[in-house]
Chains A and B, each alone.
Chain A
Amino acid sequence: MEKAIEVKGLVTHYGTREILKNVTFSIPRGMTTVILGGSGSGKSTLLRHIIGLLKPTKGNIFINERDITSLSEIEMIDVRKKMGVLFQGAALLNSLTVSDNVALPVTEHTKLQGSTIDIMVRMKLDLVGLSGSGGLYPSQLSGGMKKRAGIARAMALDPDLLFLDEPSAGLDPVTAAGLDELIVRLKKVFKITIVVVTHELPSIHIIADYAVMLNRGEIVFTGTMDELKMSDDPQIVSFLARRPPDDSLAPGDYLKTITGNS
């Protein structure tokens, strides 16, 4: 299994608070990997480090065998051109039309003619099923359309790594299924490596080849989907069965919690 991304001994902080605690795992090339874990477990934080937006306290992150933790901001620009990102919440620029949002990375990073970029943008919008919506503004889009527009923008520079942070959060099941189908097709046609942060079980079963699971800043699982399904780790079993983990407190501890005496 060829590695697209390798994370070694990653420790990260916000201020003095440790978020990721010595995290080590790798992500296979040409597959879709899901990053799982409860709210606040550090999934988005992990993503921000992998795309080089944040520098870790400790550890290394290899993207296509290059350690990005030691790259300068200028060197990082080149690496980032080959990465497409859909941030949690899509993050389109509201003052620009959908087409201009998609064109922006291309005009910023290439010397292509406007007429060529126009065609590229139309191709990307068609790719995500938004043909004909290029002239709309983000505020005129539904939640699902916003995600699609965000994916079109993430695909603008033909990345070989695509990161999607909770693409189907807040969408109805049919719209979410449509996005899953798009993710599957993107991998198949473009042979790219896709990393998806998600909680949606139905989605995981459709899109994922490989899974990484975080709990409170620590890795609790990495492996194929088959390995995930066969795991007898209680956290994984309860996640796959949609049960809350058993973290009920002993009566004495509960008393301490509500009286504040610890």
Chain B
Amino acid sequence: MSTPSETAFDELALVNRARSGDMRAFSDLVTRYDRKIFRLARHITQSDEDAEDVLQETFLKSFQHLGEFQGNSKFYTWIVRIAVNESLMKLRKRKTDRTVSIDESIDTGEETMVREIAAWDEDPEQRYSREELGEILGKAVDSLRPAFRTVFVLRDIEDLSTEETAAALSLSIPAVKSRLLRARLQLREKLTRFFKRKGDDVFAYL
């Protein structure tokens, strides 16, 4: 088994070979991460078609800008950043009435409020089939605003660290943390209605 630093070293070697025109090395990098990038783009854009465009643009751009890759971050974090930007551009194009930006200033007040409290089942997902569950979870994530959704997808679905997420999104660490908290609390609230224990009352507090 290889340690993270071995992987990074091995990857830097691949990047260097790709930079000097070795297309095989570049293909290796592509097939290592294309599924993750596609999934990520699909979560942010909510569209298979847009996600495929984002995927192609991401790897085309990463190849064209390979010279700018510093090697002090992971290659994956670097392409995630490109993929997130491409995905947000797709969203912007689609929703001309509303600016979509992960830099939008976030009103921190209202969104930390907890309005619904109801205890959940011990194994809440048992109540639903795999398809139903996938749909419930997907719709809940989709309903978050992009600034929160993007952070949640990177941190809790793609398992990036707080630091990697901050780097990929050009956000400060406190900003990542506060958005993640709000995303998690909003999801919790949205899911409560599906997963709460039968007969438990839903009531507000705070």
A and B physically associate = no
